[in-house]
Amino acid sequence: MFPESSNVTWYSYEDCKVTADWLLSYTSVRPLVGIVCGSGLGGLADMLKDQQVINYNDIPNFPQSTVHGHAGKLVFGTLKGKACVCMQGRFHLYEGYPIQKTTMPIRVFKLMGVQTMILTNAAGGLNQDFTVGDIMVIKDHINIPGFAGNNPLVGPNDERFGVRFPCMSDAYDRGLQQLAHDVAAELGFSAFMREGVYSVLGGPSFETIAECRMLRLLGADAVGMSTVPEVIIARHCGMRVFALSLITNQAVMDYDSEKKANHEEVLETGKQRAKDLEKLVSTMVSRVELDNNTLQ
C-alpha cells in the first residue's frame, strides 16, 4: 500500500508516469478505451472479460474513493474485443480533494495508451421533458466551479500533456454522439434517449430550487457533481470524449413541491437502468476503431 501525501495538490508528468508504469507492469492489458463509472453504474466494469482488478489504495499516487456507490477499484480487461480500463468509482471536489487530484487518473490513462474516454454519471433532470430513467448524451457542459477559477488546468502547464489554452467547443466528440444514437435506435432505446447540456456544481449538497431555475435559464438540461473536470483533462491530453448522464431524479423546480433529492434514489435508478446503459456502452465500444480514431 502506498500512503497518500496530504500536502500533494497536483501531480507532475513524472508522478503520473510513475503510476502509469506501475500499472503497466501489473497488468498485461494495454487499454485503448477508458471508462469512468458514475454513482450506481459500476456494473459496466463487470462486463469486462479476463479481468484484472486493482484496489485504488494499492496504486501509487492514486486518491481514494469515499462515496457509497463507488467501489474504488480499477478494472482491466476486454470489452467486445477492445482492451479497456474501467474506474469503478471516481473522485469529487466534495470529498475534499483538490481538483487536480480528482482528475489525475485521466492523465495516467493517457500515458497508458488510452485514446477514447467514455464517462458516465448520475444526474438530476432540469429539462422538464426528461423523466427519471432517461439516458442523456452530453453534447456540451457548463462548468460552474470553473467560473470561480476551480479548473483542473490551473497551475503549471506541461506541454507533454497539452497546450496551455485548450479548446472546449469540441469537447464532446460528435461522431461518438451520433454512434450512441444509432446504437440506441438499433437496441430499441430511442424512447428514453435524450441529448443535452450538463452543468457541474461542487456539491455535496443538492441544488436549491432557485439554483435549479437559474441553471435551466442558462441552458442546462441536467445537473451533477462530476465528469466535467475529467472531460477537460481528457481533451487537454488529446483524447476523444463521449459522456452520458443517467437521469436519476427530477430536480425540484417548484416551491409547492414536496419532493426532495436524495442519494438513495440516485442509486436505485442506476440499478434499474444499468443493464440498458451497459448494453449501449458495450455495443458502442465494439464499433469504435481505435488505431486511427475512426468509426467502423
Residues annotated as catalytic (active site), given as ranges: 39, 70, 92, 94-95, 122, 225-226, 249, 263
User: Per-residue pLDDT tens for 247-286?
Assistant: 988 888 889 877 777 767 667 776 778 889 989 999 999 9
- Site of grid cell 508528468: 13
* Per-residue pLDDT reduced to its tens digit, 35-84: 999 877 788 888 899 999 999 999 999 988 777 655 789 999 999 899 99
Q: Are 13 and 94 in contact (CB under 8 A)?
A: no
Rounded distance between C-alpha atoms, residue 194 and residue 104, angstroms: 30
Beta carbons within 10 angstroms of residue 42's beta carbon: 22
pLDDT at 4: 45
Instruction: Report d(CA 89, CA 41) in Å as an integer.
Output: 9
Structure-model confidence comparison of residues 271 and 164, the more confident one:
164
The pLDDT confidence band at residue 3, using thresholds 50, 70 and 90, is very low
In tens, the pLDDT along 179-212 reads: 999 999 999 999 999 999 999 999 999 999 999 9
| pLDDT at residue 296, rounded to an integer | 42
Looking at residue 2, its pLDDT comes to 35
The residue among 226, 223, 205 whose CA lies nearest residue 214 is 223
Task: Find where cell 463487470 sits.
Answer: 46
**What gap in Å lies between CA 171 and CA 162, rounded to an integer?**
14
Provide the 3-class DSSP secondary structure of residue 235. Answer: helix
How far apart CA 111 and CA 20 sit, in angstroms, is 6
The helix/strand/coil state of 241 is strand
Measuring CA to CA, how many Å separate 296 from each of 35, 55, 176, 290? Answer: 20, 34, 11, 9
Which has more pLDDT, 241 or 288? 241
* 170 vs 293 pLDDT, higher one: 170
**Which DSSP string corresponds to 131-180?**
-TT-EEEEEEEEEHHHHTT--TT-S---TTT--SS---TT-S-HHHHHHH
Pick the range with the lowest mean pLDDT from 3-7, 274-278, 287-291. 3-7
Q: What secondary structure letter does DSSP report for 59?
A: S
Q: What is the overall mean pLDDT for the chain?
A: 90
Cell of 70: 463507488
- In percent, the amount of the chain with pLDDT more than 70 equals 92
Q: What is the pLDDT of residues 15-26, one digit of tens each?
A: 999 999 999 999
Task: Give residue 295's pLDDT.
Answer: 43
What cell does 162 get?
Answer: 497539452
User: What domains does the chain contain, in order, with CATH numbers?
Assistant: 13-287 (3.40.50.1580)
Complete DSSP assignment for 3-41:
PPPTT-----HHHHHHHHHHHHHH-S---SEEEEE-TT-
Total-model pTM:
0.92
- Name which of 295, 233, 265, 289 is nearest 133 in CA terms: 265
